[in-house]
A = this chain, B = another copy of it.
Amino acid sequence: MITLSSDFGTPYPAAMKGVILQRSDARLVDVSHEFPRQDVRAAAFWLREVLPHFPPAVHLAVVDPGVGTDRAALVVRAGDHALVGPDNGLLLPVARRLADVDADVEVFEWTYEDPASHTFHGRDVFAPCAAAVHEAGVARIETLDAATPTDAYEGLTFPEPTLPTEEGEAPRGEVLVVDGFGNVVTNLPGSVLAGHYGDHVSVGGVVARVVRAYDTVDPGTRVVTVGSHGNVECAVNRGRGNRSFGLEAGDDVQLSF
């Protein structure tokens, strides 16, 4: 199985699929091709949240503003999974989650020469690479001539929240992404809401009720809840939380109960 993720929209992902299908009969599953364009951090977040639900697979992921420059191509083995994509940090958060322990993340540089384009390595570098890794098998990446183990690669970490150490302190964090519903996903762990369900909370001055499910308040009403990723989420029942809270990716959030 090969999954495909990118910020390519359409129809570029189909070219990647064609290239793969010339080389492999692997089952193909789209994760998303609508990641925010050139936003490596947002894509890294979604990959980390979605890919661990899959059985062992090769995951092709291309959000690659540096395409055509000298940035490397990587293959990352993480447990029974392999990740293929550019060396810009995109693959690392999900790799750490897919591996049982950090030591199970092994990174290979993928050597490529003279691809057909400098603007579409998804088609010309990464798709052939994903097919080759799939055909060799995740356990046998090192048998591929183009794969060389490396310790020199870009990392990516999400901002850490500041959690209260004393009674009455306010948890402070950051908006990681806004999803398609307009739900504002923060980096605050859902555990900070414990003991506050049913109460009101102020998010930077915007007041909302702390609830377990969206539809426990009237439509159009603001809520703060725990999203499916386990983080605090600012939402509006049947509406768009980002607009109502005035929040977007990168904004600071502080919860005052």
Contacts and interface: CB of A to CB of B under 8 A. Distances in A.
Contact of A214 (B52, B119, B212): B119
A123 interface: yes
Contacts of A164: none
Interface stretch (A105-113, A201-209, A222-230, A246-254): A222-230
A68 B216 CA distance: 9
Nearest to A51: B18
A232 to B, nearest CB: 12
A29 interface: yes
Contact of A19 (B14, B21, B30, B53): B53
A162 to B, nearest CB: 25
A10 B180 contact: yes
Tally of this chain's copies: 3
A1 interface: yes
Interface residue tally on A, bucketed by range: 35 or more
A46 interface: yes
A136 interface: no
Contacts of A214: 65, 67-68, 119
A230 B116 CA distance: 9
Contacts of A66: 213, 215
B69 A215 contact: yes
Given A15-B49, A21-B1, A21-B55, A8 B180 contact: yes
A51 B14 CA distance: 8
Contacts of A97: none
A132 interface: no
B181 A9 contact: yes
Interface of A: 1, 3, 5, 8-12, 14-15, 17-19, 21-22, 28-35, 37-38, 46, 49-55, 65-69, 116-120, 123-124, 179-181, 212-216, 225-228, 230, 233, 237-238
Given A66-B213, A119-B228, 8 more contacts: A9-B180, A21-B55, A22-B53, A65-B237, A67-B213, A67-B215, A117-B228, A119-B233
Top 7 A-B pairs ranked by shortest CB distance? A68-B213, A18-B53, A9-B180, A120-B228, A11-B32, A18-B54, A117-B228
